[in-house]
Structure 1
Amino acid sequence: METSTSYIGQPTSRVDGRAKVTGEAKYAAEFYQEGLTYGVVLSSAIAKGRITKINTEAALQLSGVLQVFTHENRPGLAWFDKSYQDEDAPPGAPFRPLYDDKILFSQQPIALVVADTFELARIAASLVEVTYETETPVTEIKARKAEAYTPKEYKSAEPSPRGDAQKGLGESAIKMEAEYFHSSEHHNPMEMHASTVIVEEDGKLTVYDKTQGVQNSQKYISKIFNLSKEQAHVISPFVGGAFGSGLRPQYQLFLAVMAALELKRSVRVVLTRQQMFSFGHRPATLQQVVLGTSPDGALQAVVHEGFSETSQFEDYTENLVNWSAMLYKCDNVQLAHKLIKIDAYTPLDMRAPGGVTGMYALECAMDELAYQVGVDPLELRFINYSDLDQSQNKPYSSKELKECYWQGAEKFGWNKRNPEPRSMREGKILIGYGMATGAWEIKQQKATAKAFLSADGKLKVSSATADIGTGTYTIMTQIAAETLGLPLTDVTFKLGDTSLPESPLEGGSWTAASVGSAVKASCEGIQEKLIAHIRKLENSPLAGVHRLEEVIFADGKISLKSNPAQSMTLTEVMQQTGQNFMEALVTTSPESKQKKFSMFTHSAVFVEVRVDEDFGTVQVSRVVSAIAGGRVINPKTARNQILGGIVWGIGMALEEESVMDPTYGRFINHDLAEYHVPVNADIQDLEVIFVEEHDDIVNPLGVKGMGEIGIVGTAAAIANAVYHATGKRIRDLPITLDKLL
């Protein structure tokens, strides 16, 4: 079978774009029902200790206040008899809101005030009086390495050594050793976390939740509140950014459902911007890297040890140090990833979790090594290039990283770089060039999609996945339209609803590969049914067709490959065979051949910075990011993803820092005024190159995903450029002017 209607690979505008810019698109806090009530969360003022008294009388005396829920009056729930871990939960005991009087972290939810209006609920919350018994919180990791421990379980593969790294270091002519740190970072999507719970006439719940997986939210509340799937219908058609913050159900969902069930009223709970800093974050991480090489720079040994924070109640791990075992050729590798418990909420996956952190340290270390060896940083990458993933002893399904290096360097003008630090300037402005490698593991998850073709030739395809701004609506529409040869305007893709076919959480850059493969397969199921019905037709232009390989689907028609003039429209086939509709429900899973290969997206990032010699201010003036990401479904939305990743990489390198007060155990810059992120004035010339890469191993579509790879390597390239500009090596992110001065 062939299709000549080509949508895959075309830069296509978002099919949901008009709905978003006109306000037609509704988000979790925008759904309404007559009689809706409003819940306001009261947050703990301390980070560790217990509540000795909580007085709600003044709040309850206000007319229109329906209830103040605390640990003293919350309902008995299945949650409290048996802990339930959601799909993205790390090992440990998940946080249980309003469980008892213990305080585990600052801004822990300790009460929910529900009233007829939001304003009234907020005023009432201010009247709740709380007294505490306070303990001194543990807040930082740098001085607590002696307390670090190796977790029993890892979210991904446990770091595994090979060879004898210590012996390799002893035999190395050149040794580079350094320690790298970055503080906590928070996701800060524009849309705050919110849940609107509508109590229907039959008592069932319709829950509008800010989430990256409606089915995860449904399973979570079903377990806790002992509800069937029919009793808890979760919907999330649009998400205003998430970056990982929506992978786990957050506490506003629990509180809203609890209140709705108890009051038998519809309830909306929206977290404030300040409360967005009370759950999940990229963990503060300290990393020690030691590299040993021969005189020409060939790696003889790699030692990479990481120390990350986690909460007192869960062991959160990332794929942090594993990159050092696969990115470059080296026979002797020693890895370790340890955790340090502090009194904060459990960290949470945040765009390219582990990868952006681990490769920041590795790629800065490689840059430092290049200066010690006396070779160009790009040349050092070629010297240590590997076509084999030594960590798994597997070949790559595809790897066009060399092409990324070549094309990126040429476009950037890397050959104009003077290798001497602090040698390039324009007056008082120091100019620096830096580069880094990026990689992100590619996975295909099990997913299901349903295709429904009606007699009028309109196609509806559905899966319960999410679109957090990545373009899921659009690329799934493209895949379906091309597979059945229909115009884009005749295809509708539906997502974000628990009544739809099962799908994985949207994260890990696997949605295009996973859900896209299911969408393609479901549309191929419709093709098979159409051909089966064509066989029954007598005297049709397609008489004698028995196999899909004999026809072409294009322009709303099915045509003979051998004679395209002989064709029938899809509607003609259905009308003549008496079909009002056709549907196909298909589940796809990774193919066994994938197990023989290592599958990654790769990138090469080149950066120019301009540093004011007097004031130490840093501007990223140019970035070229060359990406080898398999087949690109939509260059327009893919480029958008890479640009977003680059911007975030600039934030990670120069601005983003969640500052923990050591006395009170609270992130003190918990708002967008003091938590600095890049703005328009910070962003200059960004260029994205998609390197051609064919891969028929990763999945039936040959796609690799673009969500994470844009940020990986960017912060390292900026740090390396800052060193080249100034001669100062800053190993503590973010690189702020006080550190340079």
Structure 2
Amino acid sequence: MSMLGKPMDRVDGVLKVTGRARYAGEYPEEGLLYGSVVSSTIASGRVLRIDASAALALPGVVEVIDHGNRPPMAGDDEQYSDEDAADGKPFRPLYNDRVLYNGQPLALVVAENLELARHAGSLVRIEYVEHPWSSDLRAELGNAEPAPAELPEPRGDFDAAYAAAAYQVHATYETPAEHHNPMEPHASTVFYKADGSLEVHDKTQGTQNCQTYLCQTLGLEKEKVRVLAAFVGGAFGSGLRPQYQLPLAAMAALKLRRSVRVTLTRQQMFTFGYRPRTVQHLRLASDAGGKLVAVAHHAIGQTSRFEKFTEHVVEWSGMLYHCDNVKLSYDLVPVDLYTPLDMRAPGAALGLIGLECAMDELAEQVKMDPVTFRELNFSDHNQNEGKPYSSKALIACYSEGKARFNWARRKAEPRSLRNGRKLVGLGMAGGVWEAMQMPASAKASLGKDGTLTVSTATTDIGTGTYTALTQIAAQAAGMPPERITIKLGDSSLPKAPLQGGSFTISSVGTAVQQACEALHKQLLTAAASIDPDFATVTLERVRFTESALVWGDKQLSFTDLVHASAVEAIEVQVDAQPDKKREQFSTATHSAVFAEVEVDEDLGTVHVTRVVSTVAAGKVVNPKTAHSQILGGVVWGIGMALHEETLTDHAFGRHMNHNLAEYHIPVQADIGQIDVVFVDEEDTVVNALGSKGVGEIGLVGVAAAVANAIYNATGKRVRDFPITLDKLLDGPAHL
């Protein structure tokens, strides 16, 4: 029986619900010290003096580390590797006396317990000289400059096609900064070993990335640093780059030759990367029949003064629909805040807001149903790349979504449907996300007890990676899942890419599949050493049962094969690469999102009563965990549409709602019925598994679908996100 496509329970579920799954800030050790970060209270300037005398006078306070007494760093502030770094000079905590943003770590108090460390931190006094600064994207638009992005070249003649078109839309959409806020805050526990080596437990999406970072910044040998992340309590992109608690904890451990833990507070979770604020200008045009003839998407995003972080916001507008005249551009505005960071569905979650809202506005001008309009402009090629899609079941997503959602009840005229005093609106949007594959390695090891251990350095950030890889290994090895152990989250394991971009299963899953298949070859070789008859047998002629190799009436158990090999385990490691046949195609997941809203006519409050998300993601390895991924994405999309924004006090360059009470996200009462549908889609090009990944696609398009539904309910186009009741009530007393 095939294990792929089966709704298997999480193999790590019991560990998590019983509390036996340890996270980065939970590993114990006798004599462990605790660090508390002291943060900047200005947005730009220099530190003149740090007075830690009052803190150091407290019994139990061991040290206060700052730029003046930290351990040495290797090289300068440009010489280190980070797989998710932006162009520019990456930030290093305690590197010098410069203050680059409000909330920057300037000192670390190390004490015998966390409460004491935090109290001592409040006693540290810092004197500054302030420099002129600005944290407001809008105020700095005049300083925008082209981003260092590899954008598709313009195609056709946009200006001429737009000017001559029968219908045109020219609209500006704004999205706010958002912070990741996973349930588990960022933490690093660094165990200092007798030989001077470091065992680091970090909240990260890439253990090997963190290992490289620590070695290069602190001048350490790779053999002296091991980074582990067995369990990660959510990340959404916040763990792609090493965050500052990691080097601070390592510096303290090296300086004191003691084990140290640094855990960031919820407020400090707002002092590093975030989804950047954007201003997006969309110009779309069609002919009289509704065919797109011109698309221009210009986005402006904020970045820090020291790095040029570039989102992939506009590319989607050149690939989702067919259009021969396209112009895409992206500018950056430097501000005195930290560098933005990839956040779930980076770029697409923002760019599809602009594109799909503008598509809705253009469909209205053409007087065409929004779904029909999109079907008319379907493209089976990615025109940005000039390649056909390996598969694109988007039409099936539209069709299935319309049926499940009962789209036929939608009225084109806004304010046509009511539920008492509430206006009812129906809206939809399309979605797209690249189906990528990265090089990855995995090891399969069959022990004397007949159990299979598969290992790779990738992490599981809560997406179900342990479970999906168990299913892939069981399928490839022909063994039951209960006899398979997956080892993840360890920098000493076979190389794996960062977990992000929805490419973990495509990349690491392929490596696991190939490693288990290669193990079969090793077992056949071992069989030949026991029984010479097996020396002439090919893999195609033998069978592998749950515990034995079988050929005709001959059978050799796995345990016998391992024992005969005179090793503790038969092992094979595979370095998997993307298949060359991918190069001729463009690969992507697609979706169609349908949303129903009710808007209180007097109060302006919005409730999303129903969402149908139809997804084309190739072969879904585990529909149960994949379903949850889409559910989570839809909830987040509702939050993007109606709730979520980081509010910055530009008088201080400081984020104001830096807690989970004031940083608004949807709660249970905000969520109505969500229906998730995976349409059938076979793809033999994307990878041997046929899997495209679902981590990102569930979020893409949701906010636009909700916004379009709000317009259908009220007749008001709100282009400044999130769509809060004050924006809906702006103008007449009633909607």
TM-score range, shorter chain: over 0.9
**Aligned in 2, Cα 1:665/1:81: closer, same or farther, shift over 3 Å?**
closer
* Structure 1 position 654 matched with structure 2 position 647: no
Paired amino acid for 1:622: R
SS at match of 1:684: strand
Alpha-carbon contact 1:175-1:292 (below 8 Å) kept = yes
Counterpart residue number, 1:416: 409
Structure 2 CA distance for aligned equivalents of residues 577 and 262 of structure 1 = 47
Counterpart residue number, 1:511: 504
Structure 1 CA distance for aligned equivalents of residues 535 and 132 of structure 2 = 81
Paired amino acid for 2:573: L
Aligned residues: 729
Deviations 1:562-608 (A, max 9, x none): x6x76544334445666642100110011211111000000000011
Paired amino acid for 2:504: T
Structure 2 CA distance for aligned equivalents of residues 166 and 567 of structure 1 = 72
Structure 2 CA distance for aligned equivalents of residues 539 and 68 of structure 1 = 69
TM-score computed with the length of structure 2 as normaliser:
0.97
SS at match of 1:732: coil
Q: Which piece of structure 1 moves more, 480-489 or 183-192?
A: 480-489
Alpha-carbon contact 1:483-1:553 (below 8 Å) kept = no
Counterpart residue number, 1:550: 541
Counterpart residue number, 2:610: 622
Alpha-carbon contact 2:180-2:236 (below 8 Å) kept = yes
Counterpart residue number, 2:74: 78
Deviations 1:390-423 (A, max 9, x none): 1111000111111011011101100111111111
Question: How do 1:251-266 residues align onto structure 2 when only pairs under 5 Å count?
Answer: 251-266=244-259
TM-score computed with the length of structure 1 as normaliser:
0.96
Counterpart residue number, 2:592: 604
Structure 2 CA distance for aligned equivalents of residues 6 and 72 of structure 1 = 60
Question: Structure 2 residue aligned with 1:107, among 84, 99, 103?
Answer: 103
Gaps of 5+ in 2: 730-735
Question: Structure 1 residue aligned with 2:58, among 58, 62, 80?
Answer: 62
Paired amino acid for 1:720: N
Residue 716 of structure 1: how far off its partner (Å)? 0.5
Deviations 1:196-250 (A, max 9, x none): 1111122211111110000000000001111112211111100000000000000
SS at match of 1:33: coil
Deviations 1:15-67 (A, max 9, x none): 00000000100000001111111110001111122222221111111111111
Structure 1 CA distance for aligned equivalents of residues 68 and 522 of structure 2 = 59
Structure 2 CA distance for aligned equivalents of residues 538 and 458 of structure 1 = 23
* Structure 1 position 441 matched with structure 2 position 422: no
**Aligned in 2, Cα 1:647/1:364: closer, same or farther, shift over 3 Å?**
same
Paired amino acid for 2:171: A
Structure 2 CA distance for aligned equivalents of residues 82 and 388 of structure 1 = 40
Counterpart residue number, 1:724: 712
Counterpart residue number, 1:707: 695
SS at match of 1:78: coil
Counterpart residue number, 2:24: 28
SS at match of 1:715: helix
Question: Structure 2 residue aligned with 1:52, among 48, 52, 64?
Answer: 48
Counterpart residue number, 1:217: 210
SS at match of 1:144: helix
Counterpart residue number, 1:293: 286
Deviations 1:432-457 (A, max 9, x none): 10100000001110101000001221
Residue 559 of structure 1: how far off its partner (Å)? 4.0
Structure 2 CA distance for aligned equivalents of residues 436 and 443 of structure 1 = 23
Counterpart residue number, 1:595: 583
SS at match of 1:195: strand
Structure 2 CA distance for aligned equivalents of residues 735 and 263 of structure 1 = 51
Question: How do 1:287-686 residues align onto structure 2 when only pairs under 5 Å count?
Answer: 287-538=280-531, 546-560=537-551, 567-575=555-563, 580-686=568-674
Alpha-carbon contact 1:83-1:94 (below 8 Å) kept = no
Alpha-carbon contact 2:360-2:370 (below 8 Å) kept = yes
Alpha-carbon contact 1:137-1:664 (below 8 Å) kept = no
Residue 485 of structure 1: how far off its partner (Å)? 1.2
Structure 2 CA distance for aligned equivalents of residues 385 and 431 of structure 1 = 28
* Structure 1 position 129 matched with structure 2 position 125: yes
Structure 1 CA distance for aligned equivalents of residues 376 and 255 of structure 2 = 65
Alpha-carbon contact 1:611-1:726 (below 8 Å) kept = yes
SS at match of 2:138: coil
Structure 1 CA distance for aligned equivalents of residues 554 and 628 of structure 2 = 41
SS at match of 2:710: helix
Residue 144 of structure 1: how far off its partner (Å)? 2.9
Deviations 1:450-474 (A, max 9, x none): 0000122100000000000000111
Structure 2 CA distance for aligned equivalents of residues 92 and 374 of structure 1 = 47
Deviations 1:322-368 (A, max 9, x none): 11111111100011100000000000000000011001100000001
Paired amino acid for 2:652: Y
Paired amino acid for 1:296: G
**Aligned in 2, Cα 1:94/1:576: closer, same or farther, shift over 3 Å?**
closer
Alpha-carbon contact 2:529-2:564 (below 8 Å) kept = no
Deviations 1:640-687 (A, max 9, x none): 111111110011010000011111011100100100011111111011
Structure 2 CA distance for aligned equivalents of residues 705 and 686 of structure 1 = 20
Structure 2 CA distance for aligned equivalents of residues 404 and 568 of structure 1 = 48
Question: Structure 2 residue aligned with 1:8, among 4, 9, 15?
Answer: 4
SS at match of 2:222: coil
Alpha-carbon contact 2:444-2:453 (below 8 Å) kept = yes
Structure 2 CA distance for aligned equivalents of residues 661 and 402 of structure 1 = 45
Alpha-carbon contact 1:136-1:663 (below 8 Å) kept = no
Alpha-carbon contact 1:433-1:725 (below 8 Å) kept = yes
Paired amino acid for 2:595: V
Residue 427 of structure 1: how far off its partner (Å)? 1.0
Residue 129 of structure 1: how far off its partner (Å)? 1.1
Structure 2 CA distance for aligned equivalents of residues 317 and 577 of structure 1 = 53
Structure 1 CA distance for aligned equivalents of residues 565 and 304 of structure 2 = 62
Structure 2 CA distance for aligned equivalents of residues 544 and 204 of structure 1 = 47
Alpha-carbon contact 2:78-2:89 (below 8 Å) kept = no
Alpha-carbon contact 1:513-1:703 (below 8 Å) kept = yes
Counterpart residue number, 1:239: 232
Paired amino acid for 1:556: S
Question: Structure 1 residue aligned with 2:85, among 63, 86, 89?
Answer: 89
Structure 2 CA distance for aligned equivalents of residues 550 and 50 of structure 1 = 73
SS at match of 2:106: strand
The RMSD of aligned alpha carbons is 1.5
Structure 2 CA distance for aligned equivalents of residues 478 and 675 of structure 1 = 38
Question: Structure 2 residue aligned with 1:42, among 9, 24, 38?
Answer: 38
Structure 2 CA distance for aligned equivalents of residues 281 and 451 of structure 1 = 37
Question: Structure 1 residue aligned with 2:679, among 677, 691, 697?
Answer: 691
Paired amino acid for 1:686: I
Alpha-carbon contact 1:453-1:460 (below 8 Å) kept = yes
SS at match of 1:230: helix
Residue 81 of structure 1: how far off its partner (Å)? 6.5
Structure 2 CA distance for aligned equivalents of residues 550 and 363 of structure 1 = 53
